[in-house]
Amino acid sequence: MRGSASSGSNQPKCTLANGIGDFMRDYNIVNFPGGNTGVQMGGWFRKEIKTLNDLKGLKIRTAGLGGEVMIRLGAVPLQLPGGEIYQALEKGNIDAAEWVGPYDDEKLGFYKVAPHYYYPGWWESNSMYSFYGNTKTWDALPKDYQAAFELAAAEANGNMMAECHFKNPPALKRLVGNGVKLHAYPIEMLRAAQDAAFELYAEEADKNPAFRKMYEPCEKFRAKVMLWYRFAEHTYSSFLHANPVK
């Protein structure tokens, strides 16, 4: 959804975009989507995770709201830059780490020191990157310049998603060929994480009006789109996964 300038025909049409756009305008910022990885992987673990109890005291490199949820599940989130993750895993200073997905993770060599690769990255069902600009400066630009920038941002947004879809499958195959063990997170962990996440969102919405301004329209949109996905999207994907073309 596109955040936009504060006036005129550039006003976003959908409620979800309005919430995010209004939040950004409070800080004199205009924002545009500039890339998305899609659903990320769930991270690299030195040891296999079999139950929710295995998270107790586990030191994992992660951050943000996902890190807050991890705390509620008993883990110990730590923030480390990408260049320090490998060494921390190798030395045992951390037990696990999440990054992006197969293509990006392979380049950093995590599989050499943490062979258990989990999915899905429930804290990052997508990774939205944005272009930010000053609202007043944006409003002062000629309309054709604005249109050109919006088009370029949209192109970058679509290209990143396409690139991830293209590069991740062969990278995952290479990782498995190098001995990586793929694991789905236990259902009990996913359910606990979901419960903890939505408790966290509700608490934040109660005390933070700015968060609530974005969260409420997002929740309404989520309910509508999940209803739709239950039918055509989910049924089609489930069939394809269960019946691959030979």
pLDDT in tens, 226-238: 999 999 899 999 9
Identify whether residues 59 and 30 lie together within a single domain.
no
Identify whether residues 61 and 155 lie together within a single domain.
no
Identify whether residues 109 and 137 lie together within a single domain.
no
pLDDT band (50, 70, 90) for residue 1 = very low
pLDDT band (50, 70, 90) for residue 18 = low
Q: What is the CATH number of the domain that holds 238?
A: 3.40.190.10
Cα Rg of the chain, angstroms: 20
- pLDDT at 19 (0 to 100): 63
| CB proximity list for 42: less than 8 A, separation 6 or greater | 98, 117, 118, 119, 120, 121, 122, 185
Mean pLDDT computed over every residue of the chain: 90
pTM of the entire structure?
Answer: 0.87
Residue type present at position 81: P
Identify whether residues 149 and 198 lie together within a single domain.
no
- pLDDT at 17 (0 to 100): 55
244 versus 102: the higher-pLDDT residue is 102
Rounded to an integer, the average pLDDT of 8-16 is 42
- pLDDT at 241 (0 to 100): 92
Which structure tokens are listed for 85? 């993750």
* Phi (first) and psi of residue 182, to 5 degrees: -85, 135
Q: What is the pLDDT of residues 121-147, one digit of tens each?
A: 999 988 889 999 999 999 999 999 999
End-to-end Cα spacing for the chain: 38
Rounded to an integer, the average pLDDT of 8-28 is 62
Identify whether residues 206 and 118 lie together within a single domain.
yes
Rounded to an integer, the average pLDDT of 12-25 is 63
For residues 8 and 19, what is the distance between their CA atoms, to the nearest angstrom?
17
Rounded to an integer, the average pLDDT of 209-219 is 89
For residues 201 and 28, what is the distance between their CA atoms, to the nearest angstrom?
25
Please give the residue range of the domain that contains residue 68.
43-126+179-242
β-strands 181-184, 116-119 pairing: parallel
Question: How many separate domains does the chain show?
Answer: 2
* Phi (first) and psi of residue 161, to 5 degrees: -60, -45
The continuous run of DSSP H or E covering 29 comes out as: strand 29-36
